[in-house]
Amino acid sequence: MGEKGSAATLSRRDLLRMIGVTAGSAAMYQAMSSLGYAAESPYRGPVRLEGAPKGASVLILGAGIAGMVAAYELRNAGYKVQVLEYNHRPGGRNWSLYGGDTYTELGGHTQHCRFDQGLYLNPGPWRIPYHHQGILSYCQRLGVKLEPFVQVNYNAYLHDSQAFGGKPQRLRAVKADYQGHVAELLSKSIQQSKLDGAVTREDQEKLLASLRTWGALDKHYAYAKGEASSNRRGFHKDPGGGLTARPVPSEPMGLADLLTAKAWLGLAAGDNYEMQTALFQPVGGMGQIGAAFGRELKGLIRYNARVTAIEQDEHGVSVRYEDTARPGAALTTRADWCLCTIPLSILGQLPINVGPAMAAAIAAVPYNASVKTGLQFKRRFWEQDEQIYGGISYTDLPINNIGYPNSDYFSQGKGVLLGTYAGGLSALELTSLTPEQRIEQALAYGSQIHPQYRKEFDCGISVAWHRVPFTQGCAGRWTEESRAEHYDNLCAIDGRIALAGEHASYIPAWQEGAVTSALDAIGRLHQRAVAQGAKA
């Protein structure tokens, strides 16, 4: 009794660890479920690849998250690993632009980032949900510090240029009013016995009581101007201290106005599984993860290497590439196996001798458009004038989002806003503009929400993902139909070539997709290598 590891004192965690070690991840997963832990990320803890065939080598194409996760684990398992990377830096779409950085997009426009020290734009991913345990675990193992990312800020704005005279509304007011009106309407239905068929009398009573609390209704089950509603939406004059202290309640918006505004569009964003609190961001920019992987894999990654052809034969895989600094001179490298993480938008343009199933899958996935623009301002007016500390405002304008920095709160220096985070059609339109025009657009639209923009603007930088040389798009766009037809063919190993990346996952555009895709692919590649090794 009491001895570490004895059955009597075995903690759930010890038990899970034991099961994980002895019976593998599937058993561990089942055990977790039956012990009552919800299924979280498909990431099951550090991968265990044992018994790499002696001298076996893997060539990895792309030093993004997928490629570097694979390189890290395969190296640790004893494989000879080499990584070819197009950029002069690790990370791929895991990328932060800092002052001093230079970026040239397709079409030739070069931007010089002039942000102050410590400020940045994350052109790609910018947040990590708590249940993305794979990427979070690599942050821990690589010593990347994390801080909270704020998705929902009740004091940020919901803005509809066609409603409320174009005046942005605080999310707290819209949320309170929407919830209040919904609760009142449903309460009325209950009180008028209109729910009698659908819900038992007893549950109706309970529901009524819950709606009153949840919707901030008054004692008559009305959502009305008063203390209850102002305690949610905010007051006209806040309560204070002393003799000037009495609060003055605010006037809720009418349901009709609220619905006209489509203001509810941004309301549920923070309820989405991927955007629920807790969320995290690396201290100093998302690119810190790529940088940490790069340091860890020093010597294994060849930068400025543009892959031009991939050819497998019975014994291995040969890859032709050129040094981007000396284009034209063809170089070649070879390994027993190849893990290719090149985005399909690029890979589809390269010669690669895989079977028709994988080839069709590579051709089947178009890439989403996305534009992000970072704007540096001389002061953090959103905090100082408007008490918005972090989070996101939503608008129906083409900029879509304004993202406030989730670090250095209350600091007196400059600050960088995410001035545009556009997708879909508006991203395609913005992509057709020059970087300067995109920045100007962000300023023009953003001024409708923050009139301080013009006066306080300092400098900006813009990334349109269809103009990014190393991806030519943001992330793979799957449909139900294309998944059914091509997804498994994309992921299945073809001879000696396996594919990985967010495009080979059910979590497109998220780093966790890249991580879990890479781990899944190298697990299968390893099995095949071990089987081959045994045969050899």
Name residues contacting its own copies, limited to 104-143 (CB under 8 A).
130-131, 133, 136, 139-140
Which one of residues 386, 394, 445, 460 is an interface residue with its own copies (CB under 8 A)? Answer: 386
Question: Given the structure tokens 């069709």, which residue do they identify?
Answer: 360
Scanning residues 256 to 275, which ones bind its own copies (CB under 8 A)?
256, 259-260, 262, 264-265, 267-268, 271-273
Q: Which is nearer to its own copies, 401 or 517 (CB)?
A: 517
Q: Which is nearer to its own copies, 113 or 211 (CB)?
A: 211
Q: Which is nearer to its own copies, 36 or 299 (CB)?
A: 36
Task: For residue 241, state whether it binds its own copies (rule: CB under 8 A).
Answer: yes
Task: For residue 36, state whether it binds its own copies (rule: CB under 8 A).
Answer: yes
Q: Which is nearer to its own copies, 246 or 298 (CB)?
A: 246
Task: For residue 276, state whether it binds its own copies (rule: CB under 8 A).
Answer: yes
Residues 6+ apart with CB under 8 A from 175: 154, 232, 233, 267
Q: Which is nearer to its own copies, 299 or 410 (CB)?
A: 410
Which one of residues 21, 23, 106, 278 is an interface residue with its own copies (CB under 8 A)? Answer: 278
The least distance separating its own copies from the CB of residue 97, rounded to whole angstroms, comes to 24
Scanning residues 38 to 67, which ones bind its own copies (CB under 8 A)?
38-43
Task: For residue 255, state whether it binds its own copies (rule: CB under 8 A).
Answer: yes
Which one of residues 223, 293, 381, 457 is an interface residue with its own copies (CB under 8 A)? Answer: 381
Asked if 377 and 414 touch (Cβ cutoff 8 Å), the reply is yes
Which one of residues 280, 382, 394, 478 is an interface residue with its own copies (CB under 8 A)? Answer: 280
- The pair of three-digit structure tokens given for residue 264, joined into one six-digit string: 């509810």
Q: Tell me, what amino acid is at 176?
A: A
Cα(314)–Cα(332) distance, integer angstroms: 18
The least distance separating its own copies from the CB of residue 517, rounded to whole angstroms, comes to 3
Chain length of the chain: 536
Q: Which is nearer to its own copies, 111 or 179 (CB)?
A: 179
Task: For residue 2, state whether it binds its own copies (rule: CB under 8 A).
Answer: no
Q: Which is nearer to its own copies, 117 or 130 (CB)?
A: 130
Cα(536)–Cα(524) distance, integer angstroms: 18
Task: For residue 240, state whether it binds its own copies (rule: CB under 8 A).
Answer: yes
Scanning residues 402 to 461, which ones bind its own copies (CB under 8 A)?
406, 409-410, 451-452, 455
Task: For residue 245, state whether it binds its own copies (rule: CB under 8 A).
Answer: yes
Asked if 114 and 329 touch (Cβ cutoff 8 Å), the reply is no
Question: Given the structure tokens 């549950």, which residue do they identify?
Answer: 203
Which one of residues 99, 148, 348, 423 is an interface residue with its own copies (CB under 8 A)? Answer: 148
Task: For residue 231, state whether it binds its own copies (rule: CB under 8 A).
Answer: yes
Cα(527)–Cα(536) distance, integer angstroms: 14
The least distance separating its own copies from the CB of residue 210, rounded to whole angstroms, comes to 4
Task: For residue 161, state whether it binds its own copies (rule: CB under 8 A).
Answer: no
Pick the stretch among 80-88, 240-248, 361-369, 527-535 that binds its own copies (CB under 8 A).
Answer: 240-248
Task: For residue 154, state whether it binds its own copies (rule: CB under 8 A).
Answer: yes
- DSSP 8-state secondary structure symbol assigned to residue 237: B
Task: For residue 186, state whether it binds its own copies (rule: CB under 8 A).
Answer: yes
Does an H or E element contain 83, and which? strand 80-84
Label the pairing between strands 370-377 and 457-464.
Answer: antiparallel
Asked if 472 and 346 touch (Cβ cutoff 8 Å), the reply is yes
Which one of residues 116, 323, 429, 520 is an interface residue with its own copies (CB under 8 A)? Answer: 520
Smallest CA-to-CA distance from 282 within 379, 164, 142, 173 is with 142
Which one of residues 6, 117, 191, 277 is an interface residue with its own copies (CB under 8 A)? Answer: 277
Phi, psi of 67 (to 5 degrees): -65, -40
Q: Tell me, what amino acid is at 388?
A: I
Pick the stretch among 47-55, 112-120, 211-219, 526-534 that binds its own copies (CB under 8 A).
Answer: 211-219
Q: Tell me, what amino acid is at 124?
A: G
Which one of residues 15, 18, 31, 185 is an interface residue with its own copies (CB under 8 A)? Answer: 185
Asked if 232 and 244 touch (Cβ cutoff 8 Å), the reply is no
Asked if 274 and 510 touch (Cβ cutoff 8 Å), the reply is yes
Cα(340)–Cα(500) distance, integer angstroms: 6
Which one of residues 182, 224, 357, 428 is an interface residue with its own copies (CB under 8 A)? Answer: 182
The least distance separating its own copies from the CB of residue 243, rounded to whole angstroms, comes to 5
Q: Which is nearer to its own copies, 228 or 430 (CB)?
A: 228
Q: Tell me, what amino acid is at 432?
A: S
Q: Which is nearer to its own copies, 1 or 325 (CB)?
A: 1
Task: Calculate ∠ Cα 210-215-219, nearest 5°.
Answer: 75
**Cα 477 versus chain centre, distance:** 15
Task: For residue 194, state whether it binds its own copies (rule: CB under 8 A).
Answer: yes
The least distance separating its own copies from the CB of residue 15, rounded to whole angstroms, comes to 11
Smallest CA-to-CA distance from 420 within 285, 440, 432 is with 440
Scanning residues 490 to 509, which ones bind its own copies (CB under 8 A)?
491-492, 500, 502, 504-507
- What sections of 327-452 are H helices per DSSP? 344-347, 356-363, 381-384, 424-431, 435-446
* 334 DSSP β-pair partners: 318
Asked if 99 and 117 touch (Cβ cutoff 8 Å), the reply is yes
SS3 of 16-59: HHHHHHHHHHHHHHHHHHHCCCCCCCCCCCCCCCCCCCCCCEEE
